[in-house]
Amino acid sequence: MTEVSISARVPEAVFKELETFMKEESLEKSSSIRKLLAEGLQHWKRQRALKALEDGKVSFMKASQMAGLSAWDFADLVREKGIVWIKSEKFVSSDIKKALQ
């Protein structure tokens, strides 16, 4: 994987939290930032997928792909969050057809 360098200015309070994280996780600064950024982006992807599903903008299968999760893991997340997503017959039909392929 190709890596690129990024830089950012953060408030001192955020940096102090990062130092605490580094100590507790026994990681250097770059590794800590990479780990937190990856976790934050994964959380953002899941929240975006849940919102799109709940708003009826995408099918269940499309939302699971957006979240980067298997259909089963995404189903667990949907259930855990109490998301009501069956609002359109068209998405249910589409998801059933994809599941049967």
The pLDDT of residue 63 is above 70: yes
Q: Which residue in 93, 89, 90, 66 sits closest to 78, CA to CA? A: 66
The pLDDT of residue 56 is above 90: no
Measured in whole angstroms, how far is the alpha carbon of residue 86 from the centre of its chain? 21
Tell me what pLDDT residue 65 has. 96
Q: Where are the alpha helices (DSSP H) in 1-101?
A: 12-25, 29-54, 60-67, 71-81, 89-100
What's the rounded mean pLDDT across residues 77-84? 91
Q: Mean pLDDT for the chain? A: 90
Cα–Cα distance list, 34 to 5, 65, 67, 85 (Å)? 11, 23, 19, 33
pLDDT band at 95, cuts 50/70/90? low
Element (H, E) at 70: none
